[in-house]
Structure 1
Amino acid sequence: MFASLRVRNYRLFFSGQVISNIGTWMQRIAQDWLVFELSGYNSVALGIAVALQFLPTLLLSLWAGVLADRVDKRKLLIAIQSGVALQALVLGVLVLGGAAQLWQVYLLCLVLGVLSALEVPTRQSFVAEMVGRDQTANAVALNSSIFNLARIVGPAIAGFTIVLVGMGWLFIANALSTVAVIAGLALMNPSELFRAPAVDRAKGQLREGLRYVRNRPDLVTVMVLVFFVSTFGITFFTSLAIVAANVFGTEADGYGMLSTLLAVGTFTGALLSARRGSRGGPSLRLLLISAFALGLIEFVGAFMPTYALFGLALVPLGFATITFLNTANALVQTTVSPQMRGRVMGLYVLVVMGGNPIGGPMTGWMADTFGGRSPFYIGGAIALIAAVVCGYLAQRAQQRSGAGSPLAQSMRLG
C-alpha cells in the first residue's frame, strides 16, 4: 500500500503535503464562511467566490501544461507555493486587522485561482517524475489519502476555531504550513528524479497535445465523463455550506462537521485506491461504476430528512467521489507518453476544475431558486446520466475496435 514511499524524493514531498493540506482545508472552510458572513449569508456570493477560484483554470491550465513540459517542475512548484503562502498571509492580516471587505476576498480568491491553475497540472505531472511509471498509481492514491486525511482534520479544526477565536489565525496557519511543501521540494535530489526528455520550446505544442488526446478514444471518454461529473455532481465546496446554513440552520462548526464526514469517506476510498495502485493499474470499468455510484448516492442523500442522516450519507458519497477522481487521474497519468504528460494533465485539470466557474454560480442559483437540497439531487441525476451514456459509448467503441485491440485493452471494460 505504501510502496512509493520507498522513494526518498517522494517521502519529502509526501511529508510536506501532510502538513500543508491541513492548512489548505482550514483556509477553505474559513474562506467560505468569511464570504458567507460578509455577504449576509448569500448563496450566490459564495458561488461567485468559488467561480473566481476556478475561472483561471479555464484560461491557464492548458498553457500551464505546456509550461510544465518545458521547465523544471520542482523549481516551478517552489515559486508557486511561495505565492500561495503570500496570498494566505495577506488574507489573514486583513481579517485580523478588521479590514476585510467582500471585494478584497474576491480578489484574493482570484489570485489563489491563478496560482492553482499553474500548480495543479505541474504537481500532478511531477508525481510520475518522483516515483516512476510503475508506482504512479500508488503515489496518486497516497496523495489523495493525505489530502483527504487533512480534509477530516482541517474542517473540524476550522469549524471550532472560527467559533472560538475567529477566522484570521486560520489563514496565518495556512501560510506557515505551506513552508513545509517548499522545504520538501528544496531538499529533493534532482538526480534521482525520473525526468522525461526535455521538450524544447516550439510552435503548435498546445495543439499537438490536443490532437494526441483526440486520437485516443479512451482518454476522450475519461475527459467527457470527468467534466460532467465534476461540474454538476461534485459541487460540495459550495453546496455543503448552503445545506449546513440554509437547510439545517447550523453555524460554522456544523459546516465543518459535514465536511469532515465527507472526508471520512474520501480518506477510506483513497486508502483502498492506494492498495489497488500497488497491485495493478486502474480501469475504465471502475471509473464508470464509481461515477454511477456517486450520482446515485448524491441523489438519494439529497432527500435525507435530518442533519444526522444527511451527514451519514456523505460518508459513502465521499468514498465514491475519491474512487472516481483517483481512478481518472491514474488512468490519464499511466497511459500517456511522458513527453505529453504535462499537456495532457493540463487538459485533465481543465475538465476537472474548469467547469467550476459554471458550477459554482449555478449551484448558488439552484439553491436560491429550488431550495438548498437541489444542487445534490440535480447534480446526482446528471452524474448518473453521464455514467450511463459514457459507458454505452465506450462499449460501442470497444466493439468496433475488436476485443484484442489496444483500444479494448486500454478501456478494460470486460
Structure 2
Amino acid sequence: MSHIPLSEQLTAMAFVDELRHEQKQVQEHLDLPRRRADIAERIRVYYQSHDITFDDDLIEQGVRQFFAHRLKFEAPTLSDFNAWLVNTLINRGWGTQSAEPWFSGRRIFLLAVVLGLSLAFAPLVKFASYQVKVPEINREAYRLSQLGSDVNRELEVQRKKLETLQQSNAELQDANVSRLLKRVQQALPAEIELSDIGTSEPINRDNVDAIEQRVIALRNAQDAFWHALPQVKEDLRFAGGIIWMRQGIKETQQDPNRAAAIAQSADLYQRLALLEQQLARIDNDTGYQDAFFAYRDLNNDLLDTSVLTLQTRRHNELKSRLDSRTIPSDLRDELEGISHEIDADLKKGDSGAAEAKINHLVQKMKAAGYMLWIGRTDAHQRVTSNFDMILNG
C-alpha cells in the first residue's frame, strides 16, 4: 500500500462523517412513524419521572398534530400600521405594473400624513433655531456696540486731519496732494451709526431676522473701516509731508540769500528740480522717505548761503571722486590741474572763475567715465538713487 499522508486521511474522514451525519438526519425525518413513536415515548418517560398523570391517546394526538403543522407557514397577526406598510411595499410598482394606482386614496392619505407631520414639526424646528439665534445676535450686537465708539472716535480724528490738509492744500493747489486726499475721502465713510441694537428694543424671535440684517450691515461697515484705516493714515501722512516740504521750498525761494545761492549753483538748482519731481510722484513710503531725505539734505546745504561755501563743498565732493576710478596718468594730471586752479580761485574769493572751472571739471570727469552724483557721501547719511543726479554743470 502506498504511503498516504495522515492530513489527507483526516480531511477525507471529516467529509465522510459530515455526509454520514446528514444522511442520518434525512433518514430520521423520512421515517416519520418511528420519529413520532420516539417523541411520544420520551414524553411518557418525562411525565412518569415527574409523577404527572397522562393519557396515551392524548399524547399520540398531540404528537400527530405537531408533525402535521411542523413545516406549515403561519403568517403572524399584523397591526393596522404594519399591514398598511406591507401592502404599500408590495404594491410599490409604477404605471400599469402597480397593483394600486398612484393617486389612490391610500397614497393620498399617506402624502397627507407626511405633509401634516412636516407642518406640525416645522414650528418646533424654527423655535429651536431661534433659541440659538437670539443669544448669538445679542452677543454680536453687544460686541459691535462696544466697538462703535472706538470706530467713530477714530473716524472723527481722520476726518479732522483730512479737513485740515484740504484747507492747507487750497493755497498750494498741489496735484499729488489733491489726489491723495481724494483717495482718503473716498475710503472714509460719512458716518458709522452707533449701535443701539438690543438696547432700544429687546431681541426676540419676532424681530431677530430683521435685527440680524442690521447687525451684518454694521459689522461690514466697521470691518471695512478698520481695513481701510492703515492706507488712510499713510495717505494723510504723505499729503501732510508734501505740504510741509512745499511750504519749505516756497520759503526758501522767497529768501533772497537762498534764492541767489540756488541761482548761482547748478548743483542746488538741479537738486531742487529733482525734489519737485519726487514730490509729484509720492505714492508709497519709499518715495516719501527719498523725497524727505532729499529735502533735508538740500535744506542743510542752504544753511550757509555763501556762494564760496557752496562751491567749496561741491569742489570737495568732486575731488573725493577723482580717486574712485583708474584713468590714464596724463588725464589724471589734467583733471588735478583744473582742481588746483579751482582751489586757487576759491582761496582768492573769485566765485565766478571758480564756478566756470567747476563746471569744466565736471564735463571732463564725465567724459572720462566718472558717474557723478549729488548727495551725501559720508557713512552717516542716506544716499539713494531716487534723489541723486548726475552733475552736468
- TM-score with structure 2 length normalisation? 0.19
- TM-score with structure 1 length normalisation? 0.19
Q: Which has the higher contact order (CA 8 A, sep 6+)?
A: 1
